[in-house]
Structures are given as C-alpha cells and as structure tokens.
Amino acid sequence: MVNRATRATALHVLRTLHEAGYEAYFAGGCVRDMLRGERPNDYDIATSATPRQIQNLFRRVLMVGATFGVAIVLRRDADGVDRQIEVATFRSDLSYSDGRRPDSVTFSSPREDAERRDFTINGMFYDPLAEKVIDFVGGQADLAAGVIRTIGEPQERFDEDYLRLLRAVRFAARLGFDIDPATADAARRNAANITSISGERIVDELTKMLALDSAADALRGLAELDLAKHVLPELDDPEVWQAAVARVERLANHRDATLALGGMLCDVKPPAIASIVRRWGGSNDLKAALQFLAEHCDDWQRAATMERGEFKRLLASEYWRRLEKLWQAREALARGETIQTEKAAVRAAAIPPERVAPDPFVTGADLIDMGLTEGPRIGAVLSAVYDAQLNEAVATRDAAIAMARRLIDEA
C-alpha cells in the first residue's frame, strides 16, 4: 500500500528539484490549507521540470499522467512507509472536448499554470524554502474574504470541467465561504450540464461532501445553484428535499458518507435506490447498505416490541450501527425525542453476542437425511426452524430436529 505524502516527503522531493536547477513549489489545496492554519491531507508539487526530467531525478516514478505533464514520485520515508506525491509540470491546457481532461497541454510558466486552475483559493503556490506565497490569481484576498471565485471567466472554467459546479459547492460548505455572485450565476446557467459528468465522479464528489460536518450546508448549496434536481431527480420535490436535508443535518456529525446517503435516500423505494446506485456506478455493497437502511428506516416505531427473531436479524446486520443512528434521526424529527430508539438500544445490549446470529441447529443436509428433496421446501423449513431458534422457541438441536420433522409431516 502506498500512502499520501507527508510534508517531509514533499520537502525532500521539492529540494531535489531545486538542487537540480528546477523551479518547484507546493501547489493547490495544500497551500490553501496551510494559509488557513490547517494541516494538509496531501501535498502536490508544481515544477518547471518535465516528466522525463522528473523521472531522471528519482528512483521510483510512475509516468501514468505524463501526457498531461504529471508524474507520481514514490519514496519510502524514515519509518519504512511508502509515500507518493504528484509532481506536475507548469502547463497551459488547450481545449477540453470531453469536459474533463485537456485535449493536449503545453508546458508553460507558473503564472499560466495558476491561471488554468479552477478557483482562486486553489490557484496559489508556496515556496517552503523561501517561505513565500506566489499568488497570481488573488487567492489570498479571496481566502481572507471567504469567497469561492473561479479563476478568470466562470463560463470558461465550467466548460472545461462541469464537475467544478459540485466542487464550488463543496468548498463553500466545507470552508463556510460564500460563492462569488458571478460564479454562482454561471453555475446556475450550467446546472443541467452536470448530467454530462460520469456517475462515478458525481458520487465521489457527493461522498466528499457528505463525509463532513457541513453536509447539510452542501445539500442546501446544491439546491441554491439548481444542481440538486439534476444530481438527484428522485428527490425533486420541495418537501421531500427539505426532509432529506433535515435528516442529513442530524447525521452529519458522524462524518459517515454512507450513513448520510442512507439518510438522504431513505424515503426512496429500494428499487429506485438500485437505479440510483447503478447510475452512479456504485458498488453492490453501497446498494445493499442504502437499500437496507431504506427498508428498515421506520422500524424504530416497533423495534422494542417486534418479534425477537426479527430484531436479532436486524442486530446481526453489518449495517446495524448505521440503522440505529438513522432511527435516532427519524424519531427525533418525527417526535422531538428518541425514546423508542433508546428502548431498542437497551434491548440490543441485553442480547448476548453469541445469541444474535448463532449457528443453525438444523441444516439442509439434515432435511435431506429426513427425505426432503424439494429445493424451495428445504429453504422454507430451514427458515421456519431458524426463526424459532432466534425466537428461542427451540433451545436445543433435538427440539429443532423435532420441529423440522413436524413441518415436513404437515407438508
């Protein structure tokens, strides 16, 4: 496994480039975060060195983005951990016919490289050796003013990559900033174009939004820029949307994107959820989690009194902890309290772990030995006997075998 670069790794790579005679700076989001007094999660370097020159300087280099001036430098740190850092050549992007990647690039100057980036707060460089900010785009002023503004003409920046519509909302929500009026107006005009972006990129951006305390603010931002109805047409009703935002607001402090997605979509029917996840190119695991949460989101009303076996099946699910949190949000919004959810939690705590999902007393092989050969009937008998076991109506294997024989005879 290769991890993101630490500051020490980034400094080593930057110094190596400097010593070889190349210009090199920290670039983009790490500069924004440092100026805000935050510790960057990742570092990127922009340099005058070309990918081939970068490859000649370092022992391990991945040239996966060399066509676009990007090389990935790999380095093992003092603790023996492999780190990677993206090193990109100063460049100017030409046309964007696919709305994502430039058709071609030309290597250029730091100023031209800054001017091709998305927002001013992401367009600054920092020289850690000289301890100097290089700002060609007014990023420091917008950072101080709390403004998200495109670099140059908003329409041009959005035409290059419509995912920037969502990124503007995410940065505004995460940082608590306002979106510049001209940038916001251009975003509204282009809102429908978000559907030209692949589902995978959209859900990746949504996941980043929903994994933050500011998740509900991000959803409000999507609505304000007319993006919500294009990203999630299934929620395109004022009451439905407001209810979804309210649930996400209750759940945001958990910083769990899957839980937030489940809260947002829990009033959508499971088949429609399957269609949404398919549209996003999401995993089967994500689909299963969201459908489970939707199917059981209102079971808080009877969880304390439902049949013991049914309750145990919920408790045995890998999504149980998320379901508990969703119940808390649903009940609090419906009743202003969480009494039923608290009762369910007490009930769950009282069930010994080994009794939540015990091995079944009776197996398919047992039923075949009893002479049962019909596939669906075997499944029905196994399910009925296991339900009785979970309900603790049968407590031994002998009792379970006797029940199975009785069900077979009755059939």
The model's pTM? 0.88
pLDDT at 285 over 70: yes
CA distance 43 to 147: 23
CA distance 229 to 330: 23
- Mean pLDDT score of the chain, rounded to an integer? 93
Share of the chain above pLDDT 70, in %: 96
Domain boundaries, the chain: 1-144, 359-410
pLDDT reported for residue 99: 52
Q: What b/e string do you get for 141-173 counting C-beta neighbours within 10 Å, with b at 16 or more?
A: ebbeeebbbbbeebeebbbbbbbbbbbbbbbbb
pLDDT in tens, 259-278: 999 999 999 999 999 999 99
Angle at 336 between CA 330 and CA 342, to 5 degrees: 65
pLDDT reported for residue 100: 52
pLDDT reported for residue 105: 67
pLDDT reported for residue 299: 97
Mean pLDDT (whole number) for 368-376: 80
Weakest-pLDDT range from 98-102, 246-250, 264-268, 314-318: 98-102
In the chain, the largest separation of any two C-alpha atoms, in whole Å, equals 88
Mean pLDDT (whole number) for 11-27: 97
- Is residue 215 very low, low, confident or very high in pLDDT (cuts 50, 70, 90)? very high
User: pLDDT: is 121 or 372 the higher one?
Assistant: 121
pLDDT in tens, 22-72: 999 999 999 999 999 999 989 999 999 999 999 999 999 999 888 889 999
Phi, psi of 95 (to 5 degrees): -70, 160
CA distance 198 to 325: 31
pLDDT at 98 over 70: no
pLDDT in tens, 150-184: 999 999 999 999 999 999 999 999 999 999 999 99
Mean pLDDT (whole number) for 133-162: 96
pLDDT in tens, 221-264: 999 999 999 999 999 999 999 999 999 999 999 999 999 999 99
Angle at 362 between CA 358 and CA 363, to 5 degrees: 100
As a CATH number, domain 1-144 is 3.30.460.10
CA distance 271 to 234: 12
CA distance 7 to 396: 61
Burial class from Cβ neighbours inside 10 Å (0-12, 13-18, 19+) for residue 43 reads buried
Cβ pair 361, 397 in contact under 8 A? yes
- Number of Cβ atoms within 10 Å of the Cβ of 354: 8
pLDDT reported for residue 148: 98
- Residue 251's contacts (CB-CB under 8 Å, 6 or more residues apart) are 215, 259, 260, 263, 325, 326, 329
- Number of Cβ atoms within 10 Å of the Cβ of 339: 11
CA distance 151 to 180: 11
What distance, in Å, lies between the first and last C-alpha atoms of the chain?
56
pLDDT reported for residue 97: 52
